Structure 1
């Protein structure tokens, strides 16, 4: 306990002050309330319990230096609210808040398992059909409906739920990348050593450029596939970790409403049709019933879905798709083995992997430094895929990954995967 005692008490006091104060204190006390949405992803309402959990972990050597934690937790919460608010405001023609104050595709509503009776009720209440269909390969049926003219998305969802009680109805919420390439270059090292290599990983993200491992790429948004630094960096990491083949699904393209739940669900169906058995998703958003159903169907068909927990800090609400049952949730560690201070959280945690103090090749930018759980998820996926290529089932591949993981503790789940990969990144 020694050297942690004084610092631990100081950080506990600071964090509990954040947890116990009014909303402005919880967000750092400097955010003009009129400029922000009312807690769009539930941050303020959940800060108290999460911060207390963080206090219990203060003496954990896997944390960033504790003197920075009180400042960072408030900054991350504040930045997240501002970022989402500005995004919706800047893209108001394509995006609006839904009934849970989540960013979503403007004016569009998803109805699961539509039947003639339900569609008739919707039509009589002024909801127009945009599209009706099923996700290829995943056996999930849905309808996209247009909200009635002059009615906000939030009001339209509530009204349709009242007209169709018991039905699964939601907005088509947006998901955002869990990290971006930064600046600064460093030299590449010597690869993943003697670990098993190979396997196939699917990336659901933006468009991929500059990868000689890319087997196929498909677009699921307007203007897709369109090269993305984020996705290209992930592909570079996978190549460095020894992944043999990469499949890319661009769910963003040039669409401000890209990254929506329906696009990600369609991408999962495409991955299933391509025979991809491990899919990495470095995107975060809220829970969505259509995407939850798609993930469950993909898993039932043998796909291992690996997802990042995000970079909005421990006070953020649980990130999805990482929080869906059975998804492999991954956090990030730095070169000293410390969990990233900005790492978000999920309803469960499976592994950690390198998420800082490494680099990747990005076309047009050269070798760039990386930081974020976005980059940890594909490295964990690379290890699972290498095992999956040699073993008969997803369960056996995950069991082998468990045996490979090191430094297991509560903040790294079953342990750190691919730590040796850092030398080649």
Structure 2
């Protein structure tokens, strides 16, 4: 099994009611740690605990023999993608006039850390919040504050899509989260009738996440994700590498690729994400990472939706691809994808 996961838990979708869940737990010597109906998975998602130290792989193999279990996966761990003047250079690089930029009333979900909603750049920006891990105290707020601010910040630290409405799901603490928490945040986001979901995190391949992303895209939601900061030899990063997800890599002020960016055929588009000034905590900071490049793309897409609300997710994705400014080898490549985002050209396509 690839990737890091919680060593004493498995995630299972179950065909049956609460009684069936308890029967499965009893049959296989498991604990029911949580269960809920998932909109995006279309079934009951159960987080089973393994109290006796059996390996996750062995438990998954045992569960596969029970017809009531539809899908069985490790509870994979995912991580945020942050590498360690005031007018953001991204506007110029992606051909977006900051005086005309607007994502007014476009609804965008962000799945990230908690935020500092007292930061002036987020004043009036946050439409609603959801805590997918309510039993874990909120200690880290910088990453989520930066992502929200780059998308739709106001004032001196104006984001790409001022006027957009951010629906913020806190699903990370200390830079990490688990599959069950992320799925809870995705379900909540889908229920908010958003047009875009920004996912500035990376982890291993997981069939439950793939299904949730596929079904969210089926609802017409545009999914934007960080390609990853784990270097050119790193494995593909998910959810970015799933079909229907726009995988974003990061470039600097001179359109050079961020050195620690992931590479691969899944990389879709490039956007500024190196040494960006962004809101952070109660103030601001200089941030780097594909997390922040993803936020730039989400904000740019909000501009396209605001200008032409009738455009479909497929149409917008195609426009981004054919209008991107080619970087690196001719055509789509594993470093820059289709090239540097060109918002103006995509709007006119």
Please identify, of 214-223 and 147-156, the stretch whose mean Cα deviation from structure 2 is larger.
147-156
Find the partner of 2:316 among 388, 397, 420.
Answer: 397
Matches within 5 A, 1:178-189: 178-180=81-83, 182=84, 186-188=85-87
1:115-171 CA distances to partner (integer Å, 9 max, x unpaired)?
477874553221233333321465243222221423243443344346669952111
Q: Which residue of 1 aligns with 2:166?
A: 246
Secondary structure, counterpart of 2:177 in structure 1: coil
Q: Which residue of 2 aligns with 1:197?
A: 102
Bigger-Rg structure (1/2): 1
Task: Note if contact 1:226-1:250 (Cα within 8 Å) is conserved in structure 2.
Answer: no
The count of corresponding residues between Structure 1 and Structure 2 is 314
Distance 2:231 2:62 in 1: 34
Residue 218 of structure 1 pairs with residue 130 of structure 2: yes
Q: Alpha-carbon deviation of 1:357? A: 3.4
TM-score (norm 2): 0.80
**Structure 1 unaligned regions, length at least 5:** 1-99, 421-425
Distance 2:15 2:160 in 1: 43
Q: Which residue of 2 aligns with 1:236?
A: 149
Matches within 5 A, 1:252-263: 252-253=172-173, 259-263=177-181
1:178-220 CA distances to partner (integer Å, 9 max, x unpaired)?
114x4xxx43358541665213321111112221211111110
Q: 1:395 to 1:150 in 2, by over 3 A?
A: closer
Q: Which residue of 1 aligns with 2:115?
A: 208
Q: Alpha-carbon deviation of 1:286? A: 0.4
Residue 125 of structure 1 pairs with residue 28 of structure 2: yes
Distance 1:346 1:110 in 2: 28
Flag the structure with higher helix content.
1
Q: Which residue of 2 aligns with 1:30?
A: none
Distance 2:67 2:268 in 1: 37
Q: 1:137 to 1:323 in 2, by over 3 A?
A: closer
Q: Which residue of 2 aligns with 1:89?
A: none
Flag the structure with higher strand content.
2
Secondary structure, counterpart of 2:75 in structure 1: strand
Distance 2:304 2:207 in 1: 31
Q: Alpha-carbon deviation of 1:231? A: 1.0
Q: Which residue of 2 aligns with 1:43?
A: none
Q: 1:131 to 1:146 in 2, by over 3 A?
A: same
Distance 1:102 1:404 in 2: 35
Q: Which residue of 1 aligns with 2:223?
A: 305
Q: Which residue of 1 aligns with 2:336?
A: 412
